[in-house]
Amino acid sequence: MRAQLRRGGVSEAVIDDAVLILSELLSNACRHGRPLGDALAGDGDVRAAWRVEPSGRLTVEVTDGGGPTRPVPATPSVTARGGRGLNIITALAQDWGVRDDVHGEVTVWVVLRDDAESARRREDFAARVPMPSVPRAS
C-alpha cells in the first residue's frame, strides 16, 4: 500500500494515516466480522482495496462477511485494551461509513484527502493525544 500510494503522489502524512486506517479496519474485520466465502471449506478471507481519484481523494475499504453488529465507534474505558479503532479513524478521516454489499458482505470505507483541512485534523488529533511521561533517571 505504502509503495503504491507513494508512486501515486500521495503525501507521506496521508500515507501514514492510510496505513494506520487499513490496519484498524483489517483488525476489526478479523475480530468482529465473518470471513468471505466458505470458511468451512478453507477459503474464507477478507478483502482490502484502496484507490486514489484524480481529485486526490483516497478511499480505503475492507470487506468481510458481516458480523453480529454494525461497526460503530465505542467508548472504551481508560484501561481497555481495545475499542479505539473507529474513533481513531473518525479523527483522521474526512468521512467513513458502512456499505452492505451482495451476499451479506459488509464493506467499511474511509475517505482521506490530502488538503489543508486534513492537515489541520491531523494536527488537532496529535495535540489531543499526550505523550506518555517517562521517568527521568537520576
Per-residue pLDDT of 39-97, as tens digits, reads: 555 567 899 999 999 888 999 999 999 888 888 777 767 776 766 788 889 999 999 99
Segment 12-41 shows an average pLDDT of 87
Q: CB pairs under 8 A, 24+ apart, for 39-43? A: 39/65
Going through the chain in order, the beta strands assigned E by DSSP cover 47-52, 58-64, 95-100, 106-112
pTM confidence score: 0.78
For position 72, what pLDDT does the model report?
Answer: 79
Q: Which residue has the cell 473507529?
A: 86
Mean pLDDT of the chain: 83
Residue 119: the pLDDT is 55
Count, residues in the chain? 138
The domain segmentation of the chain, as residue ranges, is: 2-39+47-74+99-128
